[in-house]
């Protein structure tokens, strides 16, 4: 917003000529400390290009782009000339709004001034104003612009009724800053109204910062509520009568009667329909190429071309807003605030529509009087690293560089750096049918490639992701969007990529981080097809072992990897939750992600040591460091082979202290594999992953079937099943959680489960009925104190009464996870009532150290060996053992070779780790005596930081 203080406004100026007026404006900027004196020449140079007169006696002098180097700070100085100054284009100017802008901020200032241009009599008022406050008031009148744009849409939301759609749309408005939480509360407490024709409305004026219209469409096509179909829900944030234009758009949509077309519409299509574009409306998309967007000069040209046509032409921002404006109105066109790279949608109706739209589009494409270059931004950031990547310092030789540890293990090999692919293609093509044929055959080729990859995929998760890619490729919506664009004159490549970008963008807007990450999958699929269309193939990797370095590794890149040659993965971007990291772990390839741009500057074939446990890489290591690492690697390989040989031995320390070693699973089908790897049970079944595999909550019979699969594979070994842990970093699409400022501190885990006790009850019942004779341990996630445990215990006890003993588990225990510091601090009160504890060190560390476990930069510091976390574990074990209860650890720390003796020394009874790690953890236990472990624990507890703990343990 243009906020002007009294110091920004200089009244009662006089100038004999426009040049002297400009000079005094320049001086005012210098005096205010906003610019260097040289900026004056930039103001004159800009004026020499064309007049900055805006209208209503206002001119907005600003420097040329070259003169921005003289701007010290962005700001504005307003000079009032009561007698007026004759400007060089013949206009009379009373006010100079002189801008010092480092970037394109002047576009925003311009936008905010457009309201002044529409008002009659303003020039006289500005000329006669006798106080700075009056001028400020005239210029900075707050214009409340109602909001309806891509950010307020939520398409294909997996809702079960209009109420859930209303909450999703309200959450989107909250995210866009239009409303606050009280709006969501108001929407949650009222039932949406049926408007007719499949349309529903929810509205409130509570907590509204800006009037806005949120729109949510359901994923399910045949959704019904109260006997009416549900095609779209409108969530209106009302404010005075400022939301009226939105209401009018809504009414217009109701009048057209075609609401079922809203279903399955992409964001762009939805905006088009809300903009009133019907079958009889002709449209033409055109991209703004001007380096500084549609500022006054190019906007004027556009308006002139539009006015020269015989019919009315409207224009809107494709992604920005669903409100079209007249292309013949300068203020309205400037008000769009269109920037370089954004798409405009020109629309018109009638016989001349096509030729008129073409004329305006051509003018835009040719730069509206400015020199323009083609837009490469669709790919700019990823496809042209060599030109768009800022210069970065290369990694120093023989010096460890830290990233995020994503998959454990040590790798030593030369690097192979894959730079982002470049695709070159024409944006437009005239023969749409030919382009569609090209696209279709590229899609077929892409599908065939994926099919082969799925077939050859090394592991379940890899195959799952590639199959998901196959489905994405088959999505009729993507195909429609692409062919529609091609029929509008886009080439096969451009049409396809537009469709991919639109869909990926919509995905990114989802509140859930994990769902949003699927945008990377969409782009990955998109690039595969683009590669076929542009005949671009990936560079051939070397035929010797190497460490692969990429900007970010897409799932299909991982699947393509020849695991016999790829020793390690290193990426610029990505966090530990990215798909590439998950896949690297599944394939057992050591990986470090999020290591920053510097790694792209590595020379191919330079030697590297990659430590996936510590998240460190060292390039060009010294001979000594290399030898040490090679020895370490040999030792590690030998250890792995020995560990595999003895994986079925009982898990215990060298002197026979028993510590159970169990597996962490997210899929009951993997229980047999865990047993084959030596698991003595399942120590953590993450049942939310099992729920995620279904489109809606699995019913009792389905759940019994799932749990039984694991129980049977375990052949009498215990199963520790965790009840649903949804929320935070684990979204469940059909259990939407309202947008929260801080979901990790919000409605998640057991808190969320208790909001729908019937779901929890079905799960408990299914677990109890699936087990019968096998040992069953049920644990509750994210418990903060005994009250939550008791709330579940009531249901659990009732079920034990209700289900006949012959039909349910008898060897059953109910425990809690210790992953919130409060529960560790209160362990004595919990231990008195629960049957066992399992420490979730991932969350316990996150909450104790206040570091988001998925944070791309900080998560490396979230080390569970921090003495603060260890003290909490110590308290937990002491409290449990006093009451004769057992304690497991099921977070990642349980498989950390350095941490294992410490955990055992603290008295932990069970370690639950990923199945791959089981043989190694068992082998690690055999390397020390219990007394050593106790000494390690004491040593660790006496340190002050996690680094000190690790150093002390390493030198012990
Ligand atoms: C933990 O928090 O340590 C844990 C095991 O649970 P999850 O990783 O599933 O949150
Ligand atoms: Mg957890």
pLDDT tens track for 93-111: 999 989 888 766 666 667 6
At 452 the pLDDT is 84
Whether ligand 1 lies within 6 angstroms of the CB of 843 is answered as yes
Between 398 and 49, the more confident residue is 398
Q: Where are the domains of the chain?
A: 6-139, 150-274, 282-365, 401-420+539-629, 432-534, 652-930
Report CA(666)–ligand 2 centroid distance (Å).
Answer: 13
- The residue nearest atom 3 of ligand 1, judged by CA position, is 840
Which stretch of DSSP H or E encloses residue 566? strand 566-571
| Fold agreement between 282-365 and 401-420+539-629 | no
Residue 356 near ligand 1, beta carbon < 6 Å: no
Half-sphere exposure of 546 (CA within 13 A, CB side): 18
Ligand 1 pocket mutation, candidates 683, 722, 818, 843, criterion most atoms within 8 A of CB: 843
Q: Which residue has the tokens 């603060």?
A: 868
Are 837 and 827 a contacting pair, CB within 8 Å?
Answer: yes
Q: Of 1.10.10.10, 1.10.3720.10, 1.10.274.10, 3.40.50.300, which CATH number belongs to 432-534? A: 1.10.274.10
Catalytic, out of 94, 231, 292, 295? 295
- Closest to 909 (Cα-Cα) out of 939, 876, 954: 876
What distance in angstroms lies between residue 705's CA and the mean position of ligand 1's atoms? 24
For residues 903 and 586, the model is more confident at 903
| Average pLDDT value for residue range 169-179 | 85
* C-alpha 840 – ligand 1 centre gap (Å): 5
CB 840 near ligand 1, within 6 Å: yes
What's the angle, vertex CA 676, arms to CA 674 and CA 677, rounded to 5?
65
Q: Residue 143: its pLDDT value, please?
A: 55
Confidence check: pLDDT of 462 > 90: no
Helix axes 786-802, 757-771, angle to 10 degrees: 50
**Does 91 have pLDDT greater than 80?**
yes
Strands of 121-244, DSSP E? 153-157, 193-196, 199-204, 212-218, 224-225, 228-229, 232-237
Mean pLDDT for all residues in the chain: 85
Contacts by 702-706, CB closer than 8 A, 24 or more apart: 703/762, 703/763, 703/766, 703/767, 703/770, 704/766, 704/769, 704/770, 706/668, 706/766, 706/770
| 727 SS3 class | strand
Starting at the edge strand found earlier in the chain, the sheet holding 314-317 runs 282-287, 343-348, 314-317, 325-326
| pLDDT tens track for 792-804 | 999 999 999 999 9
**Which ligand is nearest the CA of 838, by number?**
1
**Which of 215-219, 255-259, 307-311, 879-883 bottoms out in mean pLDDT, i.e. has the lowest?**
255-259
Is the C-beta atom of 888 inside 6 A of ligand 1? Answer: no
Percentage helix, strand, coil for the chain under 3-state DSSP, each rounded to 5: 45, 15, 35
DSSP string of 628-686? HHHHHHHHHHHHHHHHHHTTTSPPB-TT--B-EEEEEES-GGGHHHHHHTT-SSEEEEE
CA distance 288 to 370: 11
Match domain 401-420+539-629 to its CATH number in 3.50.30.10, 1.20.1540.10, 3.40.50.1220, 3.40.50.1100. 3.50.30.10
Residue indicated by tokens 């074939």: 605
Which segment of 310-324, 528-542, 850-864 scores lowest on mean pLDDT? 850-864
Asked whether residue 377 carries a pLDDT value surpassing 60, the answer given is no
Kindly report the protein residue whose alpha carbon is nearest to atom 1 of ligand 1.
840
CB–CB of 764/799 below 8 Å?
yes
Of the candidate ranges 245-249, 552-556, 917-921, the one whose mean pLDDT is the lowest: 552-556
Which of the pair, 414 or 689, is modelled with greater confidence? Answer: 414
3-state secondary structure of 189: coil
pLDDT at residue 556 in the model: 55
Ligand 1 pocket residue status of 739, Cβ below 6 Å: no
Could you confirm whether 44 is annotated as catalytic?
A: no
**Tokens at 13, concatenated:** 């100026």
Is 178 a residue of the active site? Answer: no
DSSP count for the chain of H helices, then E strands: 37, 32
Written as six digits, the tokens of 207 are: 């907590």
**Terminal CA-CA length for the chain:** 61
Q: In the prediction, which pLDDT does 385 show?
A: 26
Q: Is the CB of 891 under 6 A from ligand 1?
A: yes
- Given the residues 94, 401, 469, 579, select the one marked as catalytic: 579
- The ligand 1 atom at the shortest distance from the C-alpha of residue 841 is 3
Say yes or no: CB of residue 52 within 6 Å of ligand 1: no
Mean pLDDT (whole number) for 52-78 = 85
Q: State the distance from the centre of ligand 2 to the C-alpha of 817, rounded, in angstroms.
A: 8
Q: Please work out whether the CB of residue 845 comes within 6 Å of at least one atom of ligand 1.
A: no
Cβ(722) – ligand 1 distance below 6 Å: no
Q: What integer pLDDT is reported at residue 433 of this predicted model?
A: 93
Question: Ligand 1, closest atom to CA 890?
Answer: 5
Angle of helix 841-849 versus helix 867-882 axis, rounded to 10: 130
Does the pLDDT of residue 112 top 80, yes or no?
Answer: no
Q: What are phi and psi of 744, to 5 degrees?
A: -70, -20
For residue 290 and ligand 1, the question of a CB distance below 6 A is answered with no
Which tens digit of pLDDT belongs to each residue from 678-734?
Answer: 999 999 999 988 887 787 889 999 999 999 999 999 999 999 999 999 887 677 777
Nearest residue (by CA) to ligand 1, atom 10, is 843
**Does the annotation mark 434 as catalytic?**
no
Per-residue pLDDT at 881 exceeds 90:
yes
Centroid of ligand 1 to alpha carbon of 783 (angstroms): 12
Least-confidence region, from 234-238, 596-600, 947-951: 596-600
Q: Distance, CA 617 to ligand 2 centroid (Å)? A: 28
Let me know: does 321 contact 313? Beta carbons within 8 Å: no
pTM of the model: 0.53
Identity of the highest mean pLDDT range in 48-57, 417-426, 472-481, 818-827? 818-827
- Which residue's CA lies nearest to atom 9 of ligand 1? 686
Distance CA 868, CA 849 (A): 8
Distance of CA 129 to the CA centre of its chain: 49
Output the six-digit token pair for 914. 């990923």
Span of 312-321, 413-422, 511-520 with lowest mean pLDDT: 511-520
Local confidence band at 747 (pLDDT 50, 70, 90 cut-offs): confident
Residue 186 clears pLDDT 80, i.e. is over it = yes
Q: CATH fold of 150-274, please?
A: Mannitol-specific EII; Chain A (3.40.930)
Tokens standing for residue 115: 């309201």
State which ligand 1 atom lies nearest to the alpha carbon of 839: 3
Choose one of 665, 842, 845 to mutate for the ligand 1 pocket test, by most ligand atoms within 8 angstroms of C-beta.
Answer: 842
Q: Are 628 and 438 spatial neighbours (Cβ–Cβ below 8 Å)?
A: no
Q: Does ligand 1 come within 6 angstroms of the Cβ of 890?
A: yes
Most confident of 143-147, 471-475, 546-550: 546-550
Query: What backbone phi and psi angles, to 5 degrees, belong to 158?
Result: -75, 70
CA of 871 relative to ligand 2 center, distance in Å: 18
pLDDT at 756 over 80: yes
Alpha helices in 325-459 (DSSP H): 330-335, 353-365, 377-383, 385-388, 432-456
Ligand nearest to the CA of 664: 1
Identify which of 845, 904, 848 has the alpha carbon closest to the alpha carbon of residue 874.
904
**pLDDT (0 to 100) of residue 295:** 75
Task: Please tell me the predicted confidence (pLDDT) of residue 387.
Answer: 29
Q: In whole angstroms, give the CA distance from residue 481 to residue 485.
A: 6
Smallest CA-to-CA distance from 776 within 827, 705, 836 is with 836
Mean pLDDT of all residues in 664-678: 92
Cβ contacts of 470-477, under 8 Å, gap ≥ 24: 472/521, 472/522, 472/525, 473/443, 473/446, 473/447, 473/525, 473/528, 473/529, 474/447, 477/264, 477/266, 477/503
Domain 6-139 listed as CATH 3.40.50.2000: no
Provide the pLDDT for residue 672: 94
CA of 781 to the centre of ligand 2 (A): 7
Answer for the pair 286, 346: CB distance below 8 angstroms, yes or no.
yes
Strand 404-407 and strand 591-593: pairing? antiparallel
Does ligand 1 come within 6 angstroms of the Cβ of 842?
A: yes
Which atom number of ligand 1 is nearest to the Cα of residue 729?
10
- Ligand 1 atom having least distance to the Cα of 664: 5
CB distance 841 to ligand 1 below 6 Å: yes
Q: Which ligand is nearest to the CA of 891?
A: 1
- Is pLDDT above 70 for 508? no
Which has more confidence, 798 or 148? 798
Which of these, 844, 868, 730, lies nearest to 782 by C-alpha position? 844
Query: Using CA atoms, how far apart are residues 352 and 358, in angstroms rounded to an integer?
Result: 10
Instruction: Please state, as a whole number, how many other Cβ atoms lie within 10 Å of the Cβ of residue 257.
Output: 9
Q: Which fold has domain 282-365?
A: 3.30.1340
Instruction: Please report how many Cα atoms fall inside a 13 Å half-sphere around the Cα of residue 719, on the Cβ side.
Output: 33
> Over 60: is that where the pLDDT of 391 sits?
no
Supply φ then ψ for residue 894, to 5 degrees: -65, -20
| Per-residue confidence (pLDDT) for residue 437, from 0 to 100 | 95
Determine the average pLDDT of the residues in 387-404. 71
The CATH superfamily assigned to 652-930 is Phosphoenolpyruvate-binding domains (3.20.20.60)
Query: Is residue 610 over pLDDT 90?
Result: yes
Could you read off the pLDDT of 200-214 as tens digits, one per residue? 999 999 988 888 999
């Amino acid at each position: 917003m243009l906020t002007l203080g009294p110091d920004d406004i200089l009244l009662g100026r006089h100038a004999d000529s426009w040049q002297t007026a400009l000079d005094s404006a320049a001086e005012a900027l210098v005096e205010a400390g906003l610019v260097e004196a040289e900026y004056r020449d930039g103001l004159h140079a800009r004026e020499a290009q064309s007049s900055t007169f805006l209208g209503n006696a206002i001119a907005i002098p600003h420097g040329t782009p070259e003169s921005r180097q003289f701007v010290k700070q962005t700001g504005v100085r307003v000079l009032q000339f009561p007698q007026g100054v004759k400007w060089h284009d013949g206009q009379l100017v009373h006010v100079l709004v002189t801008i010092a802008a480092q970037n394109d901020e002047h576009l925003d200032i311009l936008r905010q001034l457009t309201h002044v241009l529409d008002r009659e009599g303003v020039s006289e008022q500005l000329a006669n104003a006798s106080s700075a406050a009056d001028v400020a008031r005239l210029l900075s009148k707050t214009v409340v612009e109602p909001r309806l744009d891509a950010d307020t849409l939520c398409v294909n939301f997996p809702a079960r009724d209009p109420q859930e759609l209303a909450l999703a749309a309200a959450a989107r408005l909250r995210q866009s800053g239009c409303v606050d939480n009280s709006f969501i509360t108001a929407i949650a407490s009222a039932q949406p109204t049926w408007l007719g024709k499949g349309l529903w409305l929810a509205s409130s004026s509570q907590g509204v910062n800006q009037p806005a219209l949120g729109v949510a469409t359901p994923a399910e096509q045949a959704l019904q509520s109260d006997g009416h179909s549900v095609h779209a829900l409108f969530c209106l944030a009302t404010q005075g009568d400022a939301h009226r234009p939105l209401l009018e758009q809504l009414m217009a949509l109701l009048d057209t009667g075609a609401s079922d077309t809203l279903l399955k519409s992409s964001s762009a299509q939805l905006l088009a329909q809300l903009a009133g574009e019907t079958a009889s409306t002709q449209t033409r998309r055109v991209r703004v190429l001007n380096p500084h967007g549609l500022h006054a000069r190019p906007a004027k040209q556009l308006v002139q071309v539009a006015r020269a046509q015989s019919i009315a032409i409207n224009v809107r921002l494709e992604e920005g807003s669903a409100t079209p404006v007249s292309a013949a109105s300068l203020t309205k066109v400037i008000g769009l605030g269109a920037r370089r790279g954004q798409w405009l949608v020109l629309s018109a109706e009638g016989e001349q529509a096509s030729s008129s739209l073409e004329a305006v589009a051509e003018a835009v494409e040719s730069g509206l009087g400015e020199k323009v270059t083609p837009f490469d931004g669709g790919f700019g950031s990823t496809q042209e690293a060599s030109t768009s990547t800022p210069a970065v310092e290369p990694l120093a030789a023989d010096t460890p560089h830290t990233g995020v540890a994503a998959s454990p293990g040590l790798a030593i090999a030369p690097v192979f750096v894959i730079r982002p692919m470049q695709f070159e293609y024409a944006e437009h093509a005239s023969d749409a049918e030919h382009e569609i044929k090209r696209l279709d055959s590229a899609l077929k080729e892409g599908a065939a490639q994926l099919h082969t990859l799925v077939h050859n995929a090394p592991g379940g998760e890899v195959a799952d992701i590639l199959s998901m890619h196959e489905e994405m490729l088959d999505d009729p919506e993507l195909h429609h969007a692409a062919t529609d664009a091609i029929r509008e004159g886009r080439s096969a490549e451009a049409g396809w990529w537009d469709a991919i970008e639109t869909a990926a963008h919509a995905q990114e807007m989802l509140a859930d981080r994990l769902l949003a990450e699927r945008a990377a999958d969409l782009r990955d699929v998109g690039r595969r097809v683009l590669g076929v269309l542009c005949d671009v193939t990936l560079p051939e990797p070397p035929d010797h072992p190497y460490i692969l370095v990429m900007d970010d590794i897409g799932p299909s890149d991982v699947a393509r990897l020849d695991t016999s040659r790829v020793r390690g993965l290193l990426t610029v971007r990505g966090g530990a939750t990215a798909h590439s990291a998950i896949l690297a772990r599944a394939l057992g390839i050591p990986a470090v992600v999020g290591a920053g741009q510097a790694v792209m500057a590595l020379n191919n074939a330079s030697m590297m040591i990659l430590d996936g446990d510590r998240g460190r890489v060292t390039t060009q290591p010294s001979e000594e460091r290399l030898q040490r690492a090679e020895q370490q690697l040999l030792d590690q390989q030998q250890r792995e082979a020995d560990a595999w040989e003895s994986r079925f031995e009982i898990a215990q320390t060298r002197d026979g202290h028993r510590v159970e070693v169990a597996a962490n699973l997210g899929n009951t089908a993997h229980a047999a594999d865990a047993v084959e790897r030596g698991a003595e049970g399942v120590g953590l079944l993450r049942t939310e992953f099992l729920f995620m595999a279904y489109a809606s909550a699995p019913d009792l019979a389905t759940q019994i079937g799932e749990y039984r699969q694991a129980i049977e594979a375990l052949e009498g070994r215990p199963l520790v099943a965790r009840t649903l842990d949804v929320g935070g970093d684990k979204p469940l699409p059909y259990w939407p959680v309202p947008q929260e400022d801080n979901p990790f501190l919000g409605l998640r885990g057991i808190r969320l489960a208790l909001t729908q006790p019937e779901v929890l009850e079905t799960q408990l019942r299914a677990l109890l009925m699936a087990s019968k004779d096998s040992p069953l341990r049920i644990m509750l996630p994210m418990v903060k104190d005994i009250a939550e445990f008791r709330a579940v215990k009531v249901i659990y006890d009732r079920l034990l009464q209700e289900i006949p003993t012959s039909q349910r588990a008898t060897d059953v225990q109910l425990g809690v996870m210790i992953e919130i510091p409060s529960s560790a601090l209160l362990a004595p009160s919990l231990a008195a009532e629960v049957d066992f504890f399992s420490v979730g060190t991932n969350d316990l560390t996150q909450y104790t150290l206040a570091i988001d476990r998925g944070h791309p930069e900080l998560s490396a510091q979230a080390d569970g060996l921090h003495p603060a976390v260890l003290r909490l574990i110590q308290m937990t074990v002491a409290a449990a053992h006093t009451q004769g209860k057992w304690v497991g650890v099921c977070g990642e720390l349980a498989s950390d070779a350095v941490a294992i003796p410490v955990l055992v020394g603290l008295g932990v009874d069970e370690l639950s780790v990923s199945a791959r790690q089981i043989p190694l953890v068992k082998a690690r236990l055999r390397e020390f005596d219990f007394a050593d472990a106790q000494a390690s624990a004491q040593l660790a507890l006496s340190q002050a930081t996690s680094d000190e703990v690790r150093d002390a343990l390493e030198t012990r």
